[in-house]
Structure 1
Amino acid sequence: MMIVDGVVHPMDGPVIQRGYVAFGDGKITAVGPMEELTAVAEDALDAQGGHILPGFIDAHCHLGLFGDSLGFEADDGNESTDPCTPQLRAIDGVNPLDRCFQEAREGGVTTVLTGPGSANPIAGQFVALKTDGRWVDQMVVKAPAAMKFALGENPKSVYNDRKETPVTRMATAAIIREELSKALEYQDKQDKADQDPDTDMPDYDAKLEALAPVLRGEVPAHFHAHRADDIATAVRLSKEFGLKYVIVHGTEGYKISDLLAAEGAAVITGPCLTDRSKPELVGQTLENPALLAKAGVRVAICTDHPETPIQYLPLCAAMAVRGGMGEEEALAAITRNPAEIAGIGHRVGTLTPGKDADIVVTQGHPFDWNGKITAVFLEGRQIL
């Protein structure tokens, strides 16, 4: 199968103004200019001068965990009975038959990182999923893909209403620090028991077991943080425990962009199509992704679905262009960058031979308001 006669955005090299993408057995096999083709396959899809891109990737959302048009019955995104729930796995809560998965596909979103919300200082494990399927286990790209932590107003407001800890930023950070310290101690006891048969293995603790790969750097820590001071706390905690971390939202990241660049931090920005619904969003601006990228920070763009419906991920990237980001840079923020940040860049994010044939074809530029998505392929299967 091949897609021909389109503007190809490989995202691992220069744009090809008139090119093709070939694929077979679910993988991309070749990408190049039309002049290189000696023959066009009979079943080739003619892009008719449109654009050919990697499938879009939402680096942070809650797809399948907050049911569409439903209330408590379909709300599986926050276990707000306990401020510390690292043992929770998104894979156990995702409903792949939620119609928003179909809307994701219609919007060209072929991969998502989805997981628990931000009610808890430690919320649980995110999963990277393809957006087509009926059995979530068959859709997994990586699990766990991240451990979700949250700072700022969300934990404060949830537990203030319950008159429980935490009700301050200090307490939120303290809970995270205490649990990570317990996990280190738990690991140390396990190591000693492995080395000495006379030493008892510590009693199994699901929370501490879940945090072990985070402490080993095998699973990144995704910190929900909007305000600049909360971002600094995320960096501080990560450095204390040697975590591989990512800042999620980073609404005031532009205020400290040079410092984040110096720290080597990656930031998943968004959602941008929302109001300033809480005090920590007072500094929200469409210029944030552009200013972060200009400073040298690796940036991805998310919808935070259902905060912004997931099918509008390309529109969120277009808003970043309005805020000063280059078009290819903004496309990278919903393809290559989120794949690399999520540790799944070996499979998705670029039109590189050998990677999954997740491909989007558009009529007009993907940021063109009057354009539309004409075809979507996931692992070589046409799903739209």
Structure 2
Amino acid sequence: MIVNKKYTIAILLAYLFIGVEANAQQTPAPKQSVAISIEGATAHLGNGEVIENSLIMFEDGKLSFVGSAMSRIARRGEKIIGKGKHIYPGFIAPNTSLGLIEIDAVRASKDQDEIGEMIPHIRSLVAYNAESKVVESMRPNGVLLGQITPQGGRISGTSSIVQFDAWNWEDAAIKIDDAIHLHWPTTFRKGKWWKGEDRGYQANKKYGEEVKETLVFLRNAAVYDSLAVTKNPVLSAMSGLFTGKQKLFVYADGEKEIIDAVTQIKATGVKEIVLVGGHHAHKVIPFLKENDISVLVRATHNLPVFDEDDYDLPYKLPNLLVDGGLLVGLQNGTASNFQIRNLPFYAGQTVSQGMEVEKALELITGNTAKILGIDDNYGTLALGKSATLFVSEGDALDMKGNRLMNAFIDGREISLETHQTELWKRYEGKYEVK
């Protein structure tokens, strides 16, 4: 049979376009062109304050009024009736590999690490996939910003902070190369069962050696001359740590590791340290306060790290640290990327441990923005800051109440549709009870 070549190409192109349309991401929203006024909602500002009957206005991507709806100020532009609803700053997900991993089980879709132990020059931002379907699925729960962080090695690389509605990483970036990530050696390690070792924890006999290697690397970076004839991109990438331009995120859980890491790293000249994990941070609160160390604790929906820990320590740890006067934020830890959309519910879990609701909200808004160094523009609802916020039907820290009506990033109203909502709409009639 003779087949018309042009006809065949046309059919193939048609199938191609159908496939692209079926799997395409939501088109990023255009720049805000009309002022927006949201009136009557309960506004949770992200700094502990609440305005019951609020008026929130923004234009050109910036908040132009944050106050009471009783104010006589003229309403501008498009009006959104918020009576009975709630307004929140966009939630921020620190220490995440969103956009670097699409499917955990598919190696070709994983780009979160590189070969090597000391690789601070590896930049996560250039590998970030702004069109990731996993990233898109964060937005319906109010997670609108994230710190994209590399994994693997002792010094994993350099992170950057992005917003979750963009064509590419250049458009997404809001703070480039904000921090370097160091996994401090552990005094205990799990046995390598494949080598015949016991599966339980055992002493790490190389702890001292590994600490020494880490400190030698940091000292070399501290004295590296960027004007040297022979360039060293690895050491050069660390320079921001010693000028205060970048922060060092140190991953440590045990009491000894936390004290060793903070004490010895500060001695090398690193200006700002953030503790990540900190499972036993509650045991050294005075030490952390004295050294001005903020903490990003693991998500509350986790098991204890050590056998001797209270069974509910992950639930109550954020509260213990906040009560101790530390600056605390929540991060997803080692859980899969798709679980980051549960970030508001991790914060909500702390309320059951006695934390005030607005303080729990700060764990994923104002506090995290301060820890990441973006609080001048994000994390709270305040005059002149970015209009990155959303309107929810109820309490956004509760699964029943977290139902978004509208969401905005830099004043742009973004789509809340994802491949998950499309599938839900497609199949909801198939399984509904008749």
Q: TM-score, normalised by structure 2?
A: 0.78
Which residue does 1:108 correspond to in 2?
A: 142
1:270 paired with 2:304, answer no
Structure 2: how far apart are the matches of 1:368 and 1:156? 36
> Of 64, 70, 78, which residue of structure 2 is paired with 1:29?
64
> Of 228, 251, 260, which residue of structure 1 is paired with 2:288?
260
Which residue does 1:138 correspond to in 2?
A: 171
Q: Secondary structure at the match of 1:328?
A: helix
Structure 2: how far apart are the matches of 1:299 and 1:274? 17
Structure 2: how far apart are the matches of 1:55 and 1:317? 14
Q: Where does 1:199-210 land on structure 2 (aligned, <5 Å)?
A: 201-210=228-237
Which residue does 1:87 correspond to in 2?
A: 121
Q: Please, which moves more after superposition, 223-232 or 18-27?
A: 223-232
Structure 2: how far apart are the matches of 1:366 and 1:173? 42
1:54 paired with 2:84, answer no
Alpha-carbon offset, residue 152 of structure 1: 4.2
Structure 2: how far apart are the matches of 1:108 and 1:281? 36
Which residue does 2:106 correspond to in 1?
A: 71
> Of 29, 43, 50, which residue of structure 2 is paired with 1:8?
43
Aligned residues of 1:151 and 1:169 also touching (Cα < 8 A): no
> Of 364, 372, 375, which residue of structure 2 is paired with 1:345?
375
> Of 218, 224, 240, which residue of structure 1 is paired with 2:251?
224
Q: Secondary structure at the match of 1:293?
A: helix
Structure 2: how far apart are the matches of 1:346 and 1:322? 31
Q: Secondary structure at the match of 2:52?
A: strand
Structure 2: how far apart are the matches of 1:176 and 1:317? 34
* Residues 297-332 of structure 1, C-alpha deviations (whole Å, 9 max, x = no match): 000111236267111110010112222322111111
Which residue does 1:197 correspond to in 2?
A: none
1:364 paired with 2:394, answer yes
Structure 2: how far apart are the matches of 1:308 and 1:273? 14
Structure 1: how far apart are the matches of 2:90 and 2:173? 16
Alpha-carbon offset, residue 11 of structure 1: 2.8
Aligned residues of 2:361 and 2:397 also touching (Cα < 8 A): no
Letter in 2 for 1:86: P
> Of 304, 322, 326, which residue of structure 1 is paired with 2:356?
326
Letter in 1 for 2:345: L
> Of 189, 206, 209, which residue of structure 2 is paired with 1:168?
206
Alpha-carbon offset, residue 354 of structure 1: 1.1
Q: Secondary structure at the match of 2:300?
A: coil
Aligned residues of 2:301 and 2:314 also touching (Cα < 8 A): no
Alpha-carbon offset, residue 42 of structure 1: 6.2
Aligned residues of 1:157 and 1:167 also touching (Cα < 8 A): no
* Structure 2: gaps of 5 or more residues: 1-35, 196-203, 417-434
Alpha-carbon offset, residue 258 of structure 1: 2.5
Which residue does 1:181 correspond to in 2?
A: 219
> Of 300, 303, 313, which residue of structure 1 is paired with 2:329?
300
Q: Secondary structure at the match of 2:138?
A: helix
Aligned residues of 1:8 and 1:52 also touching (Cα < 8 A): yes
Which residue does 1:198 correspond to in 2?
A: none
Which residue does 2:409 correspond to in 1?
A: 378
Which residue does 2:339 correspond to in 1?
A: 309
Name the CA shift for 1:35/1:13 in 2 (closer, same or farther; >3 Å): farther
Q: Where does 1:212-251 land on structure 2 (aligned, <5 Å)?
A: 212-243=239-270, 244-251=272-279
Structure 1: how far apart are the matches of 2:362 and 2:382? 14
* Residues 333-357 of structure 1, C-alpha deviations (whole Å, 9 max, x = no match): 1111111111111110111111110
Name the CA shift for 1:307/1:137 in 2 (closer, same or farther; >3 Å): closer
**Structure of larger gyration radius:** 2
Alpha-carbon offset, residue 210 of structure 1: 0.3
Aligned residues of 2:104 and 2:110 also touching (Cα < 8 A): no
* Structure 1: gaps of 5 or more residues: 195-200
Structure 1: how far apart are the matches of 2:261 and 2:411? 39
Q: TM-score, normalised by structure 1?
A: 0.88
Name the CA shift for 1:299/1:367 in 2 (closer, same or farther; >3 Å): same
Alpha-carbon offset, residue 157 of structure 1: 7.0
Structure 1: how far apart are the matches of 2:75 and 2:373? 35
Name the CA shift for 1:159/1:4 in 2 (closer, same or farther; >3 Å): farther
Alpha-carbon offset, residue 99 of structure 1: 1.1
Aligned residues of 2:215 and 2:265 also touching (Cα < 8 A): no
| RMSD of Structure 2 on Structure 1 (CA) | 2.6
* Residues 341-381 of structure 1, C-alpha deviations (whole Å, 9 max, x = no match): 11111110111111110012111122233112222111111
Aligned residues of 2:86 and 2:393 also touching (Cα < 8 A): yes
Alpha-carbon offset, residue 271 of structure 1: 2.2
Which residue does 2:385 correspond to in 1?
A: 355
Name the CA shift for 1:363/1:184 in 2 (closer, same or farther; >3 Å): same
